[in-house]
Amino acid sequence: MALGVVVTGPDWFFGVDSGFEFFAFFALALITLFSWKAFRFTKDKRYRTFATAFAFMALGMVCRAVADLFVALNINSRPEVLVVSYVGYIFLTLTSLVVFFALMLRATQRAPLVALFIISLASLFLSQSVRLTFHTISLILLLFISYHFIKNYFQKKSFTALLVCIAFVLLAVAQFQFIVDVLYHKWYILGHLSHVVAFGLLLVALIKVQVVKKR
């Protein structure tokens, strides 16, 4: 099942998608690093939560990059690596989104969030289409998270807040495009393009913040 989940796009695009995902890992790793530095400097727990969420997302992207790289290189001798990589991508990405969801709710109790995570995993295990269920759950969570960042932009009206807002909206759009790909075998490439643009915007937002700090 995992191999069928991974191999969905056109043959020529495998390798390109892996490159996109390694770029996303690089961007997310930088965001994680600077979020953690901001927490160490300000002691604001929100930055620690951001660092945690982006760290899980970064690790998830590198797992997906490895899985797609195996497909691109047509390495069939170690299918367990492919399976573990893709399962790791799903597990880590869902963890990241639940952490972002907690940040949006400003939740102080962990039990409801743990319950949400367990329900999400149970839905995946019981699903006939792991990929469809994963992207559907991710889309739902990202819609709520995007709404939070849209409100944040209208409150702050800053260019950085706009970049972050657009980035998370694009991540939600990417999940929808991946759902269409599962159902109709279309928009796989569009989903990856939305992903890479979203992470690029997050990286630009980070660079802009650092430039402002140095002035």
Q: What is the 3-state secondary structure (H, E, C) of the chain?
A: CHHHHHCCCCHHHCCHHHHHHHHHHHHHHHHHHHHHHHHHHHCCHHHHHHHHHHHHHHHHHHHHHHHHHHHHCCCCCCHHHHHHHHHHHHHHHHHHHHHHHHHHHCCCCCHHHHHHHHHHHHHHHHCCCHHHHHHHHHHHHHHHHHHHHHHHHHHHCCHHHHHHHHHHHHHHHHHHHHHHHHHHCCCHHHHHHHHHHHHHHHHHHHHHHHHHHHC
Q: What is the pLDDT along the chain (215 residues), one digit of tens a residue?
A: 444 454 566 777 888 989 999 999 999 999 999 989 888 888 888 888 899 999 999 999 999 999 888 878 876 656 777 888 889 999 999 999 999 998 888 766 778 788 888 999 899 888 888 899 999 999 999 999 999 999 999 999 899 999 999 999 999 999 999 999 989 888 999 999 999 999 999 999 988 877 656 55
Which two structure tokens, joined as six digits, stand for 123?
């839905």
Three-state DSSP state, 103? helix
Residue 36 to residue 92: CA distance in whole angstroms:
19
Give the pLDDT score at 185: 86
Would you kindly state where each structural domain of the chain is located, as residue ranges?
2-209
Residues with Cβ within 8 Å of 138's Cβ and at least 6 positions away in sequence, in order, are 93, 94, 97, 175
